[in-house]
Structure 1
Amino acid sequence: MSETRFTSLFFFFFFLFISIPITVIHSQTINDERTVLLNLKQQLGNPPSISSWNSSSSPCDWPEIYCTAGSVTELYLNEKDINSTIPPSICDLKNLTFLDLTLNFIPGEFPITLYNCSKLQFLYLSQNYFVGQIPSDIDRLSSLISLDISANNFSGNIPPSIGKLPVLRSLYMHQNLFNGTFPKEIGNLSNLEELGMAYNPFVSMEIPLEFGFLKKLWYLWMKGTNLIGEIPENFNNLSSLQQFDLSINNLEGPIPSGLFSFENLTIVYLFKNHLSNEIPREINALNLVEVDLSQNNLTGSIPEGFGKLQSLRFLNLFSNQLTGELPAGIGSLPLLRDFKVFQNRLSGVFPPEFGVYSKLEAFEVSENQFRGELPGNLCAGGVLQGLVAHTNNLGGEIPRSLGDCRSLLTFQLQNNNFSGEIPSGLWRSFNLSALMLSNNSFSGQLPSEVAWNMSRVEISDNKFSGEIPTGISSWSNLVVFKASDNLFSGEIPKEITNLSKLITLLLDGNEFSGELPSEITSWESLNTLNVSNNKLSGQIPAAIGSLPDLINLDLSENRFTGVIPYGIGNLRLTSLDLSSNQLSGKIPEQFDNLAYENSFLNNSDLCADDPKVKLRDCNSVSKLDRPKKSSSKYVAVIISLAISVSLIMFLTVFFIVRDYKKKKSSQYLETWKLTSFQRLNFSEWNILSNLVDDNLVGVGGSGKVYRIKLNNSDESVAVKKIGNCKKLDHKLEQEFLAEVEILGSIRHRNIVKLLCCISSEDSKLLVYEYMENQSLDKWLHGNKGSFSSHHAVLSWPTRLKIAVGAAQGLCYMHHECPTPIIHRDVKSSNILLDSEFKAKIADFGLAKMLAGHASSHTMSTVAGSFGYLAPEYAYTTKVDTKVDVYSFGVVLLELVTGREANSANESMGLVEWACQHSFKDESIVEILDPNVKESSYLKEMIMVFKVGIVCTRPSPLTRPSMKEVLHVLRSWCPEDGQEAKKVGSEFDVAPLLGGAGGTYFSGYRSEEGDNKVYNV
C-alpha cells in the first residue's frame, strides 16, 4: 500500500470515527429541545397558533423556530394569543439567543425567569400586559444586544442598572406608564444605537448631559416625555444621529447652533481620508434624516446649520416661538420631503430654491409673518400633497406652475394678501380635496368643473365675480362651500341643489338676485345655510322646513315676501335670522318667544302672539280684514238648500266608499308581507293605516320616520319607511336587507329593538321600539328654543351614562356576536335615548357582518358621515372594527365639548381642533362644555376627552378596541359598573397620544381578571 493511499484511508476513518458521536450529540440535543418546547407549549395553554409543534418532527422544521448547528437559537412567538406568564423552562433551551414575544396578552411583572437564559441577546416583549417596575438588577441580562419592552404598562422609575448592559445597541421603552425618572446612566451605554422612550408620563426632567456621550446613537425618540429646560449643547457629540425627535415636550431656549455643525466630525473625516484643507460640502451634511422639535417652547432663530443637512428629509419645527428668517440653504436641500414650521413667529421671504432640488411632499408654513411670494417650484418634483401657507403676509399671484400640480390634496392660502386669478388647472388638480383661499384679493370666475374629490371650497372675502355656473352640479363631493363677501351676481342656479353632501353653504354678502331654488330636499346633510345680504326675492321655499340637519339659517337682508313656511318651525335651529325682508303673516309658534326676538326685525307685515317679541300683535289685527256677514234671506235659503243636497250626496258617497274601502283594504293588505322578530301586539293594518303626515317625526337619508301610537295602549312604535311611490333603488334595498339581517338576529339592551318588517314591491317598513328622548344629537346640538327649552341640559352623569351604554352596544357587536359586526355609521344622531336616557345604537343600514371571524371587510365604496369617518376609510377598501372606534371617539368629544363633529370652528373638524388642546389638562378644561363643566366632574370629563383623543388616532393600529374603551368608561360610571381597583399609590391620568399601539389606558384594572391596566 502506497504512503499516499494509507494517508487517505487514515483520514477517512478518523473523520468517520469522530462524526458518529457528533451526529449522536446533535440528535440527542434535538430530542431534548423538542421535549422542552412541547412542555413549553403545554405550559402556555396549547395556543392553537403553534399547533404545528409535535413529537414526530424536528423543532428546526417548525415555523417559529430557527436552529444553528442543530440547536434551537431563535424562538419567534409573536402574535400567538399567549395569555399566561413566561415559564422558567424556556431557559432550558441552553443556546437560546433570540426571543420574540410581541403582540400577545402576557400578564404579570417583568419576567426575571429569563435571567437564566445566559446567552440571550435579543429580547422583544412589546405590546403585552406587563405591569410593575423594571427590576433593579436587570443588568443580569448582560448579553443583551437589543431590548424592547415598549407598549406595556410598566411604571415607576427606570433603574440606573439599565446603564450597565455593556453590549446593548437597541433600547425601546416607549409608550408605557413610567411616572418616575429615567437615569443619566443610559449615557454609559457606549454601544447604544437606538433609544426610544416616547410617550411616557415621566416627572418633569431635563435631558441629562450624559446623553451627549452616546456617539453611536443614530435614533433618538423622546416624544411626549415631559422634558423641560434646554437642549444640551453637548448634543453636538451625537455624530451618528439620523432621527432626532424631542417633540411634544416643554423644552425652551434656543436650538443649539452647534447641534447641527459637528466640527469634530469634520476633523475625523479629514484625518481618516488624508484630504486637503478644503472641506467638502458633504462634511457638514451629516447623517440627519429626520428632525422633530415641534410642540415645545423653543425660541430664537433656526440655526444656519439646518441648511447644511444634506440628508434631511423631514423637518418639523411647528408650534414653537421661533423668530427670524429661514436659513438660506434650507431651500436647496436635495432630499427634503416634509417642511413644517407653522405656528411660529418666523418672518422674511422664502428661499426661491424650494422644490428645485428636492421632491417636496408637504410645505406647511402657516401662522407666521412671512412676506413676499410663494416659491414657484414647490411642485417641481410632482409629489407635493399639502401646501398650507395661510395667515401670513404673503402676496402676489399664485405661481402658474401650481396649476399643473396633480398630486395636491390640500391648498390653503387664506388670510394673506394674494391677488389675481386662480390658475385654471388648480381647480381641477386631480386629487385636490380642499381649496381654502378666503380673505385675500383673488378675482375671476368659478369654473364649471373641479377636481373629482373636491370636498371643501372656501373663497370668502375676495373679489370673485360673475354667476355660479350651472356646471356646479358636477361638484358632487362638495361638503363645505364658503363664498361670502364677493361680487357674485345673477341667480343662484337650481343645479346647486344636486350637491347632496353639502353641510355648509355660505353665499352671503354678494349680489345674487331672483328666487332661492325650491328643490332643495337633496340637502339632507346641510346644517348651515346663509344667503343673507343679497337681492333675493320671492317666497322662502317650503322645502327648507324638511331639511333634517339644518341648525343655522340666515336669510336676512334680502327681499323675500310671503309667509314663513310652517315647516321651518319644526327645525332644531340654534340660530335663525330672517330680518330685513318683506315677510308677512304670523311667525311660527315655535319661534314666538324672546329667544328669537331679533330673528324677524324689519319685516313690517309680520306679527306675533307674544307681546314681548318686537313685532305687531297678531290679536290686534284690524277686523276689517275679516269677511263681512250677509244678512240677506236669499243667501240663507240658498245655503240651506246647499246643505241639504250636500248631506244627501255625502251619505250616498259614504256608503259607496265604505264598501269600496273594505274591498280595497283587503286587497291592499295582500300586497304587504309582515315578518316579525318579536312577539307583537299589533297588526300590519295598525301600522299601514297610520302612515300619515300627522304622525311624521323625521325625514332621513333613506326615507321617512313615523311615530305610531298603538290602539288601546300608551305604547308607541317608530316606523321607518324606506322608499316612496317609485320602485326602490338598489342602494335602499341593500340598506333594508342589512338592517333586517343584523337587527333581526341580535339582541342587546343597548341596541335598538327591531320588532318586525313589513314589505311590498315599492316600499319597505321597519318597525322599532319607540325611543322617547329621540337621538343624542338633538340634546347636544338641538335648538335651544324649540327643543331644549322644555328639557334640562344633559347633565354630565347622564352624558357619561350614555357613553357607557353606547360603548356596551358597540362592544357587543365587535366582540360578543357570533359574527362580528361593523356599524360603519356611528354618530350622535344614531344613538337613541329611551325615557330613562339609556342609550341604544340604531340605524344599521350601512352595517356589515364580518365573514366568519375575519379581521376586516373589503368595501366597494366609502360610506358613513362626514366628520365621523376614520382617515383610513379614504384610502383603503379594507375596514375593521377600528372605524367604529374612531367614530365613537368623535361622539365622546361631542359629549365632553358640546361641539359638533363638523363645526368646531371654521377651518377644521372637531377631532383636529380637539387634538390641538390635548397636551395639557389646563388646555382641556378651557374647551369643556360650559353647561356641565363643574369642579366635581372635571377629572371625569378630562378622562373621557382623552379617551376620545386616543380613539381618534390617525392609525387604526394605535386605537384601542371597544372592549378596552368600555373598561375605562365603566370605571368612572357607578351606575353601569362598579368602581375598579386603582393601581399604584397615586392614580395618574396621562395622555399617551400617538405611538405604535399596545398601551392605551392606565390607572384601572380590567373587570375580566386579565391583569391589563389601562391608561388614557
Structure 2
Amino acid sequence: MVDQRNIGVALVLFYLLLLSLLFKPTVEQRLSSSIEFTALFELRSSLGLKSRDWPRKVDPCSSWNGIRCENGSVFGINISGFRRTTVGRQNPRFAVDSLFLLPGSIPDWFGRRLLTLQVLDLRSCNITGVIPSSIGNLSNLSILYLSDNRLTGAIPSSLGRLLSLSVLDLSNNLLTGSIPPGIGALSQLQILNLSSNSLRFSIPAQLGDLDSLVDLDLSSNSLSGLVPEDLSGLRNLQRMVLGNNGLTGLLPVNLFRSPSLLQVIVLRNNSFTGELPEVIWSISGLNLLDISQNNFTTELPNFASYDNAAAAVLDISGNKFYGSLTTVLRRFSSMNLSENYFEGSVPDFVLGNASLGTNCLQNVSNQRTLTDCVSFYGERGLSFDNFGPPAPESGKSNSNRNRIILAAVLGGAGFIMLLTLFLLLVLRVRTRRRVSHRGIDVGQVCAETTPPSPGLAINFSSLGDLFTYQQLLQATGDFTEVNLIKHGHSGDLFKGILESGLPVVIKRVDLQSIKKEVYLSELDFFNRFTHARLVPLLGHCLEKENEKFLVYKYMPNGDLLSSLYRKINSETDGLQSLDWITRLKIAIGAAEGLSYLHHECTPPIVHRDVRASSILLDDKFEVRLGSLSKVCLQEDDGRQNGITRLLQLP
C-alpha cells in the first residue's frame, strides 16, 4: 500500500515538472534601435508587404516573418515568397534611405529573384564586395543607387542590359577597371554618376549615344587619354563634370553645341592643352565654368556681353591664358583669373570680382616678374607691354633715351621735308602736263565743305554693306575703351571684328557734337570717287537718329605717325625706325593719292588734312589716304591758289 502511494506521488511530481517545462515563459527579442525600427517600417511601405507578414502594431523582431534579430538589432532580412499589396506589386522598391547599415555584399541571388524590381536604393549602407553581374537581369529597373559604399572590383558589363534605367549612381566607392562601353546602350539614362572611384583608361566613345543624358559626372577617377568627340552627341546635357582625372590633349572643336543646354562645365585638374573651343563662351545658360589647373593657352575672345546670359562663376586659374582682359568677362559675377599671363590694365567690370594674382597685369600686386612675362610673350612672337609706360630713368640710360628721342625728332623732320619736296615736284610735273594738254589751271580756290545738294541723292547701294547697330555693338564689344583707337575730329574710331572674322575700323559720328554735313559729305565723296590709294569704305549704319557709323577696312600697320618709330622689346627700351626704302615707298604712295585727288578728279579735290596720322598703311606698307571728312571741291573761278603761285605755274 505504501509502495503504491509513493509511486502515485512520483507520477504527480513528474507531470508537474513536465508542465513547468512546457509552459516556461521565453525571453522575447525586442528591437532596441529606433533608427532600425523606422527603417523597417519604411522598407515595409516601399515593398508593399501585407499586414499578415509584417503587422503594424507589433515589434518587428518578435512578430515579423523573415526578420532575425540578435541583441536588439536586425541582422537578417528574408522576404522571399511574401505576398504584396496591389500598389506594391505595381511599383516594387527596395529603399532604406541610409537609416540602417546592411553590412556585407549584395547576394548574387538578388538579381535572379526580384525580377520585377524598379527602384534599388542602397546608398550609404556600408555594402562591401563586388556588384553582382546578376543585377543585369533586373530588366524593369529604372533607378539604381549604390553610392557611398565600399564596393570593389569592376563595373559589370551586364548593366548595359538595363534598358529601362534612367539613373545610375555608383559614386564614392572603390571600383576599378574601365567604364563599360555597353552603358552607351542605355537610351533612357538621364543621370550617370561614376565619380570618386578608381576607374582607369579612356572615356568610351559610346557614351555619346546617350541621347537623354542630362547629368554626366566622371570626376575624381584616374581616367586618361583624349575626350572623345562623340560626346558632342549629348544634346540634352546640362551638367558635364570631368575634373580631377588624367585627361590630356586638345578638346574637340565640336565638343560643345551652339545653342547648348549646358549649365555646368567642370574640367579642372587635368592636362588639357591648346585653345579652348570658342563656342563655350557663348553658351547663354552657363552658370559655372571651371577649367582651372590645365595647360590651356589662348587669348580671351572679345565678345559683346549677353543681355539674357545667366550670372556665372568662372575659374580659369593655373593655365596659360594671355593678352588683354576683354568684355567676354562682363557676364561673370565671380572670377579666378590667377596664375596666367594676362597683360594690360584691368577693366572696371573685373575689379572687385576677380582673383588676379600671378599674371602680367598693370598696377596689380603679386604679379609675375618682368623676365617671366617677356620670356612667355617672346616665345610666341608677341611683344609684352612691360607693365605699362616705363618709369622715368636717370643717369646713362636717361641720356641714351634723350639721344634716341632727338634722333627720332630730327629724322621725322627730315622725312617730312623730303616728303614735302617730293610732293611739290610731282605736283609741278603733273600740273604742267595737264596745262599743256587741257589748257586749264588745276590749282583753284577751295570751296567750303557743303553737304550734297537736295536734288542729288546719294546712292547708298554703292557704299558697301548696310550694317545693323547690333552688329557693330558686337564687333566692338559695346564700343569699349579697350577697342578705342583715337578721338578724331569727325568722330571716334574703334577697332572691331565682324562675325565673319574680318577686322574693321568703325567711325562713330555723334550728331549732338558734330555737324550732320560732315558724314554726309564723306558719304558723297565715296559715292563719287574711288581709288586704290584711298582707304576702302566697307559699309555704313544710319539707323540711329543721333549717331551714324562708317565702317572702313582695317589697316594692320596703323598710320605713318605710329610707324615711323616703333618700340621694340629689349632691355634698353629702344626705338626701331622704318628703313629708307619703305619710307620712299610711303612717300610715293602718298603722292599718288594726292595726285589723284588734285588731277584726276573732276572737279579737282583738296584733302585739307594731310598729316602723318592721315596716311594709313596696310600690311605691305602700301598707302591708303584717310581723314577724308574735310575734302572739298575746287571752284573754277580762274584764281590761282598758294601752291600754284609757289610753283609758278602758267
Please report the TM-score for the alignment, with normalisation by the length of structure 2.
Answer: 0.46
Query: Relative contact order, CA 8 A, sep 6+: which one is greater?
Result: 2
Answer with 1 or 2: which has the greater Rg. Answer: 2
Q: What TM-score does the superposition give when structure 1 sets the normalisation length?
A: 0.31
